[in-house]
Amino acid sequence: MLLTFAPVLFAATLTAQGVFSNKTQTVLEKVIQDYPNHFYNIKGELISQATQTARYRSTLQLPGSASSTITLSTANASASGWTCTVLETGNFETAKSRYAEIYAQLSNSIITSGNQKTFILSGQYETPAEDRKSTHVVFSLLPGVGDMKNLKVDLFLHEEEKVWKILLSVQDKDAREQAQGAMTAN
């Protein structure tokens, strides 16, 4: 009798653990799916508005993160972005560890776009160093086609006034990045 239930229990355990998915990847996939809509479906209340930009709270946020915002440019309809402040801490080792964890959750993950096309999130990891003050990984969706060819996902760790911050963002590549493709910067 126990052997009869073993495959069912094993399958339930795999599903509960999220073998092929994780919460970070799941939230990011939903953000990316709304990228062609300039994040319209995940846009919350207006936070601030200036001459050419408007900032909104995002209805999607990574578990445990401080905040998520959407910035829209009124001057350039294609210039929009989603940014999540994942962590703020005074401890570099804590920030470094969380940065590596997020990278591992995202690197080579499979993302399905709103039109059911499948992409792989690809970016080159660089180990953070406390004396550098910042580390930046740019992920691209492979293959970069259609609406998704101009999208980039940034994972950014930087020190600001003795506080280490991790930011995750989804936004348009600038013209230089579109010409160069995926890149990693310090």
Is residue 157 in some structural domain? yes
pLDDT value for 164? 97
Residue 13 included in any domain = no
Whole-angstrom Cα distance, residue 97 to residue 81? 26
For residue 11, tell me if it sits in a domain: no
Closest by CA position to 162, among listed 65, 104, 100, 89: 89
Whether 83 is in a domain gets the answer yes
Q: How many domains is the chain built from?
A: 1
User: Which range of residues forms the domain containing residue 31?
Assistant: 20-185
Tell me what percent of the residues of the chain surpass a pLDDT of 90.
52
The pLDDT assigned to 177 comes to 54
Tokens matching residue 170? 């989804």
Q: Is 15 within a domain? A: no
Nearest Cα residue to 158 out of 167, 148, 149, 147: 167
Q: Is 85 within a domain?
A: yes
Asked if residue 62 belongs to a domain, the reply is yes
Residue at 42 is within a domain: yes
pLDDT one-digit tens code per residue, 19-48: 334 888 889 999 999 988 889 999 999 999
pLDDT in tens, 115-132: 768 889 999 999 999 999
Instruction: Supply the pTM of this predicted model.
Output: 0.79
Distance from chain centroid for Cα 61: 10
pLDDT at 176: 52
